[in-house]
Amino acid sequence: MQVKRCKIIVAMIRDLTELLRKAKNRPIRKMAVVAAEDEHVLKALQDAMKEGIIIPLLVGDKEKIQRIAQPIGFSLDDIELIDNREGAAVSARIAVSKVKNGDADIIMKGFVGTGDLLKAVLDKDLGLRTDQLLSHVAFFESPYYHKVFCVTDVAMNIAPDLEAKVQIIHNAVKACQGIGIGNPKVAVAAAVETVNPKMEATVHAALLKEMNARGEVKGCVVDGPFAIDIAVSAAAARHKGIGGEVAGDCDVILAPDIEAGNMFYKALNFLGGASSAAVVMGAAVPVVLTSRSDDERSKLLSIALATLID
């Protein structure tokens, strides 16, 4: 009997612009913007409106917003704007309450500290908490990698324990599904490939891999501990004799903690020629949370990403 070899073609996103293409095919979403008095933010909103993917609801200092909007040709005529001159932390609370009332279904960080925004989102009474852990998911395109991949958590959970890491993986899986990456390959990052009880990340990696095999970490394939070269380079994995389907082809990199994750995120963007799109998962609505230094393309792509999360 002749055995037919058939090639399985897996849909792969190579470029973050694909998020925008996908977003344009989805219903338009209303997005509350916290402290919209920021040029990059307003330019990204202008582009997102041109693409027809969101209707903004601006919260912030009206005078400052007008001063920034005018020279970039952003007309505020038909835009809902809630004037607040009591600072960005108050703008965050106002925007959260608008989402809570159903007046918006995405929330975006403008010129506000991450802590101030997240505190409003996490507020027990006012906030947007669910029974899920909230975590930050950042997608990257890099000239040195063959597909879009995600790094998590680089901005919210400071030192996640094992249980938190399970939820961080589940949030990343959900975000991957939103953009069309089914059954993502998760590399649990560490400094080495062997378990060393003195390095917590390696111990967590081994446990997460076992939990994945038992079906306790779902919707993905987990492997590790992997140093970053093993996670992203098939040649490095071969050279070190590390097999498996995740090594050299991961979709998700789980960072050990916020310090390692954030340094990797910034290094990718500022030294590695990468671009990113990021969102916080696990709240009642997606939270567009980019760094204040991210450019408007990154902010636009993050908005597109948020519209793809159900």
Write out the residues near ligand COD by the rule CB under 6 A.
Answer: 114-115, 118-119, 122, 129, 133-134, 155-158, 262, 291
Is 18 or 123 the residue whose CB approaches ligand COD more closely? 123
Is 123 or 229 the residue whose CB approaches ligand COD more closely? 123
Q: Which residues contact 136 (CB under 8 A, 6 or more apart)?
A: 152, 153, 154, 155, 156, 157, 278, 279, 280, 281, 289
Q: Closest approach of Cβ 302 to ligand COD, in Å?
A: 13
Q: Tokens for 293?
A: 């230094």
Give the distance from CA 260 to its chain's centroid.
Answer: 16
Token pair 């080495």 is found at 192
Is 1 or 271 the residue whose CB approaches ligand COD more closely? 271
Q: Which residue number has the CB closest to ligand COD?
A: 134
Q: Closest approach of Cβ 207 to ligand COD, in Å?
A: 20
Q: Which residues contact 143 (CB under 8 A, 6 or more apart)?
A: 273, 274
Q: Closest approach of Cβ 268 to ligand COD, in Å?
A: 14
Q: Closest approach of Cβ 119 to ligand COD, in Å?
A: 5
Q: Closest approach of Cβ 276 to ligand COD, in Å?
A: 12
Is 57 or 156 the residue whose CB approaches ligand COD more closely? 156
Is 46 or 167 the residue whose CB approaches ligand COD more closely? 167
Is 69 or 88 the residue whose CB approaches ligand COD more closely? 88
Q: Closest approach of Cβ 264 to ligand COD, in Å?
A: 12
Q: Closest approach of Cβ 114 to ligand COD, in Å?
A: 4
Is 118 or 221 the residue whose CB approaches ligand COD more closely? 118
By the 8 A CB rule, do 140 and 148 touch?
A: yes
